[in-house]
Chains A and B, each alone.
Chain A
């Protein structure tokens, strides 16, 4: 299978690869997928005043899965929680020019974003955000 230039670029030069401490109060962590399925994505966001100031990922999976999560971290940075909720897998498909067999990689990335946001919101539930 031939990969799009953007997938190759993200694969060779992953953006924001790494981890935050998942117990930190301003960090939301989303981990989706399963090793048996051949892909696991961990996506983390760091939030201040309702805005995502930083994002990191680690991914076990094919090149398209790595590229999808790398792209997701780029897009998350600078977005508010509400804006981040609106990122759709179809946007990722379009940006990376993913073929049909790789659409599940983008779905996984959207799931990872949602899971990270949910984790952050669970941590801050009932507390004003951005005060820590």
Chain B
């Protein structure tokens, strides 16, 4: 077993060597521009792109023509929200989304609001982080043009009832965008069955290269149109101009193909390892709390709050394991996780949260090491924690008048 251990697979994933192998010919040898229609270099590049488009479409049960390449999920989210709003603003400017979306959706929505271009409803989630489809239905007005709800949450892994939301959207004639960045390649996705009209996802979360993503844009029933946000040579059927990054797209395609072939096996293995990690940690450490849905979540996700210890110090104590925390000290905003807060998790427990993200290349040995280390470090930091001491003495921490600073 090699240290450090990478257990932060929601942030990104290592590239699968088979993906790299597929990409290599497209850097030096087959370097053509896929838009060059009149010579062999261009044809070879175009053929590779179209092959990848098929591999990607197959994974999500779409048609290859419905895949629009972007630089990643953030751009796809921006393109979906801004592109739909600009195209359909005569019909209405109301957008419905949820409070636990990724910031690529939330900040795009807020920016549209701030510019006076849209009104946005941010739906609450339940204690497991799930959106209630009934809330979506109730929020729809005659001005609603878009619903944007994520497939699976990046912090807690909770999976939303996408199919039900898709049905509601369809019955009301409202477009449905799904940020599926964390879900595609990990759980089955079927844009037809789920009633998704637009869907964002990216390559680097599924063992492909960074720098490429896609927006699925439905072609029929209904035919969805979006206003381009980047103008230029009219690539990607005019929806996203810019020379296609052929090697990245080839890698993205291969990554999707591998996910499709290995999803069942990966899921079984990851779920088993994750469940073991969870069971052993929570059995050994009192007052550790699972964040997110107990069963309806991504196979590789585990998010636990350890009462009385602060997340960043936990990460520091386990510096040979790459993890992430909802603690304010680890975020750029100096606020604890808004996702955990939206679930109703107290601020102090949000500060104490650790996200474990298991992926294709993690091993049982790594999970054993992590389990041992987590138990050791939490125990050590609790010994050091005045809050733990007070709780042991029977002090109700909520009754204490803290000198806030």
Contact = CB atoms under 8 A, between A and B. Distances in A.
Interface of A: 3, 8, 11, 14, 17, 19, 31-42, 58-63, 65-66, 101, 104, 107-108, 111, 115
B347 A11 contact: no
20 contacts: A31-B386, A31-B403, A32-B405, A34-B402, A34-B404, A34-B405, A35-B402, A36-B348, A36-B402, A36-B404, A37-B404, A38-B351, A40-B385, A42-B386, A58-B389, A59-B386, A60-B310, A61-B329, A62-B313, A63-B316
B166 interface: no
B27 to A, nearest CB: 33
Given A35-B397, A101-B334, A60 B404 contact: no
Which of B327, B348, B383, B388 has the largest count of A CB atoms less than 10 A from its CB? B348
A109 B317 CA distance: 21
A46 B352 CA distance: 31
B313 A41 contact: no
B387 A38 contact: no
Contact of B405 (A8, A14, A37): A37
A63 B329 CA distance: 10
Contacts, number: 88
Interface of B: 308-310, 312-313, 316-317, 327-329, 334, 336, 346-348, 351, 383-389, 397, 402-405
Contacts of B309: 60
Given A35-B397, A37-B404, A63-B313, 5 more contacts: A17-B384, A31-B386, A34-B404, A38-B348, A40-B387
A58 B383 CA distance: 8
A59 B312 CA distance: 13
A35 B350 CA distance: 10
A31 B347 CA distance: 19
Contacts of A61: 310, 313, 329
B288 to A, nearest CB: 16
Contacts of A14: 384
Contacts of B405: 32-34, 37, 104, 107-108, 111
Contacts of A104: 405
Contacts of B383: 17
Contacts of A39: 310
A74 B71 CA distance: 52
A130 to B, nearest CB: 28
B386 A40 contact: yes
Contact of A58 (B310, B336, B348, B386): B386
Nearest to B334: A101
B404 A58 contact: no
A66 to B, nearest CB: 6
